[in-house]
Amino acid sequence: MDGRKMKILELLKEDARRSADLIATMLDEPLEEVKQAIAEMEQDHIIVKYATVVNWSKVEDEKVTALIEVQITPERGRGFEGIAERIYLYPEVKSVYLMSGAYDLLVEVQGNTLKDVASFVSNKLSPIDAVLSTKTFFILKKYKQDGIIFEEHEDDHRLLVSP
Protein backbone atom coordinates (compact mmCIF):
# COMPACT_ATOMS: atom_id res chain seq x y z
CA MET A 1 0.00 0.00 0.00
CA ASP A 2 1.33 3.41 -0.90
CA GLY A 3 2.14 6.09 1.65
CA ARG A 4 -0.74 8.35 0.59
CA LYS A 5 -3.33 5.66 1.36
CA MET A 6 -1.70 4.99 4.73
CA LYS A 7 -1.91 8.70 5.61
CA ILE A 8 -5.56 8.78 4.56
CA LEU A 9 -6.29 5.73 6.75
CA GLU A 10 -4.56 7.33 9.74
CA LEU A 11 -6.57 10.54 9.34
CA LEU A 12 -9.87 8.64 9.01
CA LYS A 13 -9.02 6.44 12.00
CA GLU A 14 -8.49 9.58 14.12
CA ASP A 15 -11.83 11.02 12.97
CA ALA A 16 -14.09 9.17 10.54
CA ARG A 17 -16.12 12.36 9.99
CA ARG A 18 -13.26 14.03 8.11
CA SER A 19 -14.37 14.81 4.58
CA ALA A 20 -12.36 13.99 1.48
CA ASP A 21 -12.02 17.78 0.98
CA LEU A 22 -10.42 18.23 4.38
CA ILE A 23 -8.13 15.21 3.95
CA ALA A 24 -7.00 16.48 0.54
CA THR A 25 -6.19 19.85 2.10
CA MET A 26 -4.37 18.29 5.05
CA LEU A 27 -2.23 16.10 2.77
CA ASP A 28 -1.87 18.71 0.02
CA GLU A 29 -3.19 16.17 -2.50
CA PRO A 30 -5.72 16.60 -5.32
CA LEU A 31 -9.31 16.05 -4.13
CA GLU A 32 -10.16 13.55 -6.89
CA GLU A 33 -7.13 11.38 -6.02
CA VAL A 34 -8.14 11.32 -2.34
CA LYS A 35 -11.74 10.41 -3.25
CA GLN A 36 -10.49 7.67 -5.56
CA ALA A 37 -8.11 6.28 -2.92
CA ILE A 38 -10.93 6.17 -0.33
CA ALA A 39 -13.30 4.49 -2.82
CA GLU A 40 -10.64 1.87 -3.68
CA MET A 41 -9.98 1.12 -0.01
CA GLU A 42 -13.73 0.75 0.63
CA GLN A 43 -14.09 -1.57 -2.38
CA ASP A 44 -11.07 -3.67 -1.28
CA HIS A 45 -12.52 -3.92 2.26
CA ILE A 46 -9.53 -2.13 3.76
CA ILE A 47 -12.00 0.42 5.07
CA VAL A 48 -14.76 -1.82 6.39
CA LYS A 49 -16.93 0.57 8.40
CA TYR A 50 -17.05 4.09 9.76
CA ALA A 51 -17.82 3.84 13.47
CA THR A 52 -18.57 6.00 16.48
CA VAL A 53 -16.86 5.41 19.82
CA VAL A 54 -19.49 5.78 22.56
CA ASN A 55 -18.76 6.43 26.22
CA TRP A 56 -21.65 4.28 27.50
CA SER A 57 -21.06 5.39 31.09
CA LYS A 58 -22.49 8.81 30.11
CA VAL A 59 -25.67 7.26 28.70
CA GLU A 60 -28.59 6.11 30.87
CA ASP A 61 -28.94 2.85 28.94
CA GLU A 62 -25.53 1.44 29.87
CA LYS A 63 -24.54 -1.92 28.42
CA VAL A 64 -22.73 -4.79 30.14
CA THR A 65 -19.59 -5.93 28.34
CA ALA A 66 -17.61 -9.08 29.03
CA LEU A 67 -14.42 -10.58 27.67
CA ILE A 68 -14.50 -14.36 27.51
CA GLU A 69 -11.43 -16.54 27.18
CA VAL A 70 -12.38 -19.70 25.28
CA GLN A 71 -10.36 -22.88 24.93
CA ILE A 72 -11.45 -24.96 21.95
CA THR A 73 -10.54 -28.08 20.02
CA PRO A 74 -9.76 -27.08 16.42
CA GLU A 75 -11.76 -28.77 13.66
CA ARG A 76 -10.01 -31.07 11.25
CA GLY A 77 -9.39 -29.28 7.97
CA ARG A 78 -10.70 -25.89 9.18
CA GLY A 79 -8.73 -25.32 12.37
CA PHE A 80 -10.22 -22.50 14.42
CA GLU A 81 -12.12 -20.86 11.56
CA GLY A 82 -15.36 -22.85 11.78
CA ILE A 83 -15.73 -22.46 15.53
CA ALA A 84 -14.86 -18.75 15.39
CA GLU A 85 -17.49 -18.25 12.67
CA ARG A 86 -20.13 -20.10 14.66
CA ILE A 87 -19.41 -17.85 17.64
CA TYR A 88 -19.18 -14.50 15.83
CA LEU A 89 -22.55 -14.98 14.12
CA TYR A 90 -24.37 -14.51 17.44
CA PRO A 91 -25.69 -10.92 17.68
CA GLU A 92 -24.39 -10.54 21.27
CA VAL A 93 -20.81 -11.06 20.06
CA LYS A 94 -19.00 -7.82 19.20
CA SER A 95 -15.48 -9.17 18.54
CA VAL A 96 -13.65 -12.50 18.26
CA TYR A 97 -9.86 -12.79 18.24
CA LEU A 98 -7.58 -15.82 17.75
CA MET A 99 -5.02 -15.61 20.54
CA SER A 100 -1.69 -17.10 21.48
CA GLY A 101 -1.14 -18.34 25.02
CA ALA A 102 -3.32 -20.20 27.49
CA TYR A 103 -6.59 -19.90 25.55
CA ASP A 104 -7.53 -19.92 21.87
CA LEU A 105 -10.22 -17.28 21.34
CA LEU A 106 -11.04 -14.02 23.08
CA VAL A 107 -14.72 -13.17 22.65
CA GLU A 108 -16.21 -9.75 23.46
CA VAL A 109 -19.91 -9.97 24.31
CA GLN A 110 -22.39 -7.22 25.10
CA GLY A 111 -25.76 -7.50 26.82
CA ASN A 112 -28.25 -5.36 28.69
CA THR A 113 -27.63 -7.11 32.02
CA LEU A 114 -25.17 -9.48 33.70
CA LYS A 115 -27.85 -12.15 33.37
CA ASP A 116 -27.93 -11.68 29.57
CA VAL A 117 -24.19 -12.27 29.31
CA ALA A 118 -24.33 -15.25 31.70
CA SER A 119 -27.19 -16.73 29.67
CA PHE A 120 -25.16 -16.37 26.46
CA VAL A 121 -22.20 -18.19 28.01
CA SER A 122 -24.24 -21.02 29.53
CA ASN A 123 -26.84 -21.52 26.78
CA LYS A 124 -25.01 -20.67 23.55
CA LEU A 125 -21.23 -20.67 23.96
CA SER A 126 -20.48 -23.49 26.41
CA PRO A 127 -22.69 -26.10 24.69
CA ILE A 128 -20.66 -25.91 21.45
CA ASP A 129 -18.96 -29.32 21.18
CA ALA A 130 -15.50 -27.90 20.43
CA VAL A 131 -15.55 -25.56 23.45
CA LEU A 132 -13.46 -27.06 26.24
CA SER A 133 -13.67 -24.20 28.77
CA THR A 134 -14.57 -20.56 29.20
CA LYS A 135 -13.47 -17.85 31.61
CA THR A 136 -15.57 -14.68 31.75
CA PHE A 137 -14.35 -11.23 32.79
CA PHE A 138 -16.84 -8.37 33.13
CA ILE A 139 -15.63 -4.89 32.20
CA LEU A 140 -16.33 -2.61 35.14
CA LYS A 141 -15.12 0.66 33.62
CA LYS A 142 -13.48 1.74 30.38
CA TYR A 143 -10.76 4.32 30.75
CA LYS A 144 -9.56 4.32 27.15
CA GLN A 145 -10.78 2.73 23.91
CA ASP A 146 -9.41 3.07 20.39
CA GLY A 147 -7.05 5.82 21.57
CA ILE A 148 -9.89 7.83 23.14
CA ILE A 149 -9.59 8.67 26.86
CA PHE A 150 -13.09 8.74 28.34
CA GLU A 151 -12.60 10.62 31.59
CA GLU A 152 -11.22 14.11 31.78
CA HIS A 153 -8.42 14.40 34.34
CA GLU A 154 -9.50 16.64 37.17
CA ASP A 155 -6.98 18.80 38.98
CA ASP A 156 -6.45 18.02 42.65
CA HIS A 157 -8.03 20.91 44.55
CA ARG A 158 -7.08 19.74 48.03
CA LEU A 159 -5.02 22.05 50.18
CA LEU A 160 -1.39 21.16 50.59
CA VAL A 161 -0.62 20.08 54.16
CA SER A 162 2.97 20.33 55.30
CA PRO A 163 4.45 19.10 58.58
Kindly indicate whether the domain formed by 58-142 is annotated with CATH number 3.40.50.300.
no
DSSP label at residue 19:
-
Q: Is the separation of the CB atoms in 150 and 143 below 8 Å? A: yes
pLDDT of residue 34: 95
Task: Output the pTM of the full model.
Answer: 0.75
Q: Are strands 144-145 and 105-111 parallel, antiparallel or unpaired?
A: unpaired
Domain with CATH 3.30.70.920 in the chain: 58-142
Q: Are 38 and 107 in contact (CB under 8 A)?
A: no
Q: Is the pLDDT of residue 154 over 70?
A: no
Give dist(CA 136, CA 138) in Å, integer.
Answer: 7
51/62: higher pLDDT: 51
User: Is the pLDDT assigned to residue 163 strictly greater than 90?
Assistant: no
Mean pLDDT within 58-77: 89
Contact 96, 84 (CB under 8 A): yes
- CATH 1.10.10 matches 3-44: yes
